[in-house]
Structure 1
Amino acid sequence: MKLKSFLMFSYLIVMILPVAVLYLLYLGLNQYWQQEYFRQQTEATLQFAHIEELLKDPGLYDFNPLETYDMVADLTSDNIAITLYRSDGLVLYQSHQRDFKPYFSFTNVHNLYRNIGDIETTHQNYRLKQPVLSQAELKGFYEITIARDAWLQTYQNYNYYYLALFIAIFTLIYLIVLFLLHYKLNKPLKSLEHQMDAFAKGKQTEKIIPRSNDEISRLILHFENMKNELIKQNDAVKNQQNEKEWIVSTLSHDLKTPLTVIRTYSEALLKGTNLTEQEKRDYEQILFEKMQYMEHLINDLAIYTSIQSPSFQPKLVKVDGEEFFDMLLSGYEELAADKDISLQLIVDAPGEYLLDPKQMIRVVDNLVENGLRYTNKGNVLSLAVISSNQNLPEWVFSPFKQELEHFRQNDTLLLVQNEGSFIPEDQLLYVLQPFYQVEQARTKGGSSGLGLSIAQLLMQKQKGDLTICSKADFGTLVACRLPER
């Protein structure tokens, strides 16, 4: 239930239920008093009948001494009062005034004839007034009053009882609503507050599982999503920090060796002692290569850093596949021939592609450079661009074919495969990390260790990806996935 609906419903219950309970109590109390009224009315009627038998004596309504009315006095009590009137309104006897003098009091004759024969019921008593006749002559009137003390006491007690019952029921309703509000509102909010405080202090927090689909549950869900996102961002920041530290450490190490060589050979050239002309030329060549290596390393680091920047976005343009990829893979024949490496090319990618030509050239340059570096003389370096509806080239090493089919995902593949050199399986997971080089790469020299990392980042920026397959006795294959339009 939505929180708004729940609150409206709870308010409605708090307003309606007490009124409903009060109405039910009123109905129950009214029914009870109706039954009690008929019971007490019956008892009073029986009492009136018993007393009336003695009060119908006509002699009682003459002017008599007070002693004459002793038998009438015996019928009275604290709850029963009797008054006798002569026909002209003279009060002959009043039970509540024993020393009453009759000739001192008259009552209004018109009041004597009012409500004759009817039992008058008031909150305090029952009253019955009847005429007394003798031979068709009116002799007087008697008036019997029976107090309702027991009824008054019962009425008062029941009022207290029903008031206490109403208060108890109202309190129960109030407590139930408080419990529901606590369960529905206070408890999840307290739990959320505790989780937020703990998370803000960097403590480990448990996941809160929403119990419903109301606003509080959605708030908890949003908090969990925010928490997970912040944890991911925090982990990413930590990874970036660790990566930066790793880059600085590796860069320092990779620059230290060429700088040492440059310093040593520079000092030797400056002194010029015992050096032949050929040795001087060799030293100068070594210095040039080391400085070129350092320049290449710094350029790769600048490129890698710029690609990692959130502001970096590839400039995607629409290109024709066959034309662009033919251009992209051409121009490497001379480099391969210089190293006595055979180069075979396949381009089968018709249609249009949305990519960044400049960055794709950088990707292929890095991959082909690596391929030429680790392909031995006399072996073959293979390049291919194959669309999703074409079979893989026959020269793809058989252990890699199943993995490539799973990797391509109905997209175009850019393949660079070299024979012979391979990456040990325990190092295959790390070669895409910046500055990571396998042992054989370090012995060959000339590599910054950033080429594959740059290539992977550039492919991911273009909604593609990069993977590496390598196996002993076969070689190494780098595959780039390009999304098709």
Structure 2
Amino acid sequence: MNSSLQLKLLAGFMLVITATLGIVLGGISMFIKDQILAGKQQDLLRKGTELAHVVQNFQDESGSLEQLGDFLTNADQYLDARIWVLDKSHQIVAMSGRHMPGNRPHESGFGPGNHGPMGGGMGLQPMGGMRALINELDPVYSGQVVTKTMEQPYYGEKMVVVAVPIKNQADGSVIGAVLLNAPVTGINEFMQRVYYYVGVGGIVALLLALLVANRLTRAIVRPLKSMEKTAESLAKGDYTTRVTVTSSDEVGRLGHALNALAQDLANYMTEVEKAEKLRRDFVANVSHELRTPLTVIQGYTEALLDGTASDSTQTTKYLSIMREETIRLERLVKDLLDLSRLQSETVAWHVESIPLPAIAGSVVHILQQSAAQKNITLHLAVEDIISNILGNGDRLTQLLLILLDNALKYTPNNGHITLSITQEQDSVILAVADSGTGISLEDLPYIWDRFYKVDKSHSRSESGAGLGLAIAKQIIERHQAKAEISSQIGQGTTFTIRFPLQENL
């Protein structure tokens, strides 16, 4: 199809070029021919006007036209035209004789002995086509000049005919006419040479146009072929193929658009694959987190039902474990629902001006007892002047509980945790720093993911289901804040969150 497109373009270009070239060259040829004929007519007109004066003077001096034929024959050689002289009664009284065949006057009805008012002459009578020719000269006898290009019936060839009136010098009346007949054979020969050179030039121009058009069509079709291959690759799921763009015209812009589409599709498919992987991981993690407590509950329930746990102490122990697993399930479901609500942009929440130090103080007070159980120092450090931020108080409390709870879980006994709040020009900065076990560099990019645990074994410890930081991330994003994490193994971790000030929202 690409090849046929190139052929169609090439054929279209050549058709237009050929038609245009033919019209232009034809017009030029006609113009040249018209100019040559017009020049020939003007030349004959000038010569005919001079000759009319000569004939008039000849008549006045000699009183006869008997010697005019020899004069016309001699003038014919210089004028390159066949000369006729007519009287006022439309009779031919003299003509340049060297162009007259011996028997032609009589055959044409021009007999001797008929002399008009201008004196003696050949007395040729117009017959047939000659009569029609001479009748066309009527305007000459009104003092006008007649110029025609026509088929001369007497000479049997196409000629430029110019008729000039001969006027009486005394009163200006028309007493006859001079008729000059110049064959167009020379003009035709000249035009044939013109047509030859024009034709050769046209062929050369067509060949050059063919080369240029072929190169142009290839330049158009080549990127289209590349676009076709790219489109086929996109249809097959290969989003790495790109169009090679070498121009900035419409075709080049189309290539850029197709490349942009391929890039967008690649990004989209990457996001789709990532979302699919997250979905699979989510299902697997939820299944894992649900299976374990359900298995425990089922096992202990069966033990109670079949009498395995016979004494009250063992029964109480089993029921206590079942309650703990039920609480774990409840917390897991609650966290999942909470995370779903936070991820839904359609779920609105109450926003107000919040004094972050007040919320921090309340959370630290709540967790002081838990910190004391591990002999961990939990310290709150707040600058003197802290502006309020725009947010949701309950969600900010939840965020601090998650961050401090994680810090308590991963900080060994006798450690320390510092919650600090400072302010810069355009933000309020909250930082939670602990002296815990730290997070490895390979784990840092993933700690915000759902169900991600630094402990890859998913052990049933107090580390939870791995939803806390995923929820924290959603709360941070809903407050248009930015979070940073720095950590070193064995030295601790610091979470830094920058909340924009109210006037910057």
The normalised TM-score by structure 2 is: 0.64
Shift of 1:436: 1.4
Asked if 1 retains the 8 angstrom alpha-carbon contact of 2:483 and 2:498, the reply is yes
The match for 1:356 is: 392
Asked if 2 retains the 8 angstrom alpha-carbon contact of 1:340 and 1:378, the reply is yes
In structure 2, distance between residues paired with 1:434 and 1:192: 41
Larger displacement relative to structure 2 (199-208 or 351-360): 199-208
Secondary structure of the 1:145 match is: strand
Matches within 5 A, 1:399-478: 411-439=427-455, 442-443=458-459, 445-446=461-462, 447-478=464-495
Shift of 1:243: 0.5
Shift of 1:439: 2.4
Give deviations 1:325-344, integer Å, cap 9, x for gaps: 43454322122223432211
Asked if 2 retains the 8 angstrom alpha-carbon contact of 1:130 and 1:141, the reply is yes
Give deviations 1:425-453, integer Å, cap 9, x for gaps: 33233222211112288446130111111
Asked if 2 retains the 8 angstrom alpha-carbon contact of 1:207 and 1:224, the reply is yes
In structure 1, distance between residues paired with 2:71 and 2:431: 134
Give deviations 1:109-136, integer Å, cap 9, x for gaps: 8x9996799996543224567799xxxx
Give deviations 1:215-239, integer Å, cap 9, x for gaps: x877776666565445434432332
Matched, 1:309 2:344: yes
2:181 aligned to which of 119, 136, 146: 146
Larger displacement relative to structure 2 (364-373 or 40-49): 40-49
Identity of matched residues, %: 21
Shift of 1:266: 2.3
Asked if 2 retains the 8 angstrom alpha-carbon contact of 1:313 and 1:461, the reply is no
Q: Which amino acid aligns with 1:351?
A: S
- Structure 2: 5+ residue runs without aligned partners? 1-16, 119-136, 150-159, 169-174
2:105 aligned to which of 97, 104, 122: 97
With over 3 angstroms needed to count, the CA separation of the structure-2 counterparts of 1:145 and 1:329, relative to structure 1, is: same
The match for 1:482 is: 499
With over 3 angstroms needed to count, the CA separation of the structure-2 counterparts of 1:153 and 1:107, relative to structure 1, is: farther
With over 3 angstroms needed to count, the CA separation of the structure-2 counterparts of 1:323 and 1:367, relative to structure 1, is: closer
Give deviations 1:31-53, integer Å, cap 9, x for gaps: 66666667777898999999999
Larger displacement relative to structure 2 (427-436 or 439-448): 439-448
Q: Which amino acid aligns with 1:368?
A: L
Secondary structure of the 1:413 match is: strand
Q: Which amino acid aligns with 1:342?
A: T
Give deviations 1:291-338, integer Å, cap 9, x for gaps: 211221222222223333343455432223444443454322122223
Shift of 1:152: 5.1
Q: Which amino acid aligns with 2:448?
A: L
Q: Which amino acid aligns with 2:465?
A: S
Asked if 2 retains the 8 angstrom alpha-carbon contact of 1:346 and 1:385, the reply is yes
The match for 2:271 is: 236
Shift of 1:93: 6.1
Shift of 1:246: 0.2
The normalised TM-score by structure 1 is: 0.67
The match for 2:401 is: 365
Larger displacement relative to structure 2 (31-40 or 309-318): 31-40
With over 3 angstroms needed to count, the CA separation of the structure-2 counterparts of 1:50 and 1:152, relative to structure 1, is: farther
- Structure 1: 5+ residue runs without aligned partners? 1-13, 63-68, 133-139, 390-409
Secondary structure of the 1:426 match is: coil
Q: Which amino acid aligns with 2:491?
A: F
Larger displacement relative to structure 2 (84-93 or 366-375): 84-93
With over 3 angstroms needed to count, the CA separation of the structure-2 counterparts of 1:227 and 1:352, relative to structure 1, is: farther
The match for 1:206 is: 242
Shift of 1:412: 2.4
Q: Which amino acid aligns with 1:361?
A: T
The match for 1:336 is: 371
With over 3 angstroms needed to count, the CA separation of the structure-2 counterparts of 1:151 and 1:280, relative to structure 1, is: same
The match for 2:323 is: 288
The match for 2:353 is: 318
The match for 1:257 is: 292
2:382 aligned to which of 347, 350, 365: 347
Asked if 2 retains the 8 angstrom alpha-carbon contact of 1:210 and 1:220, the reply is no
Give deviations 1:158-216, integer Å, cap 9, x for gaps: 896899799999999x99999999899999889778766764564434257595588x8
Matches within 5 A, 1:16-27: none
In structure 1, distance between residues paired with 2:191 and 2:328: 108
Larger displacement relative to structure 2 (358-367 or 422-431): 422-431
Asked if 2 retains the 8 angstrom alpha-carbon contact of 1:80 and 1:144, the reply is no
The match for 2:302 is: 267
Q: CA RMSD in A?
A: 5.7
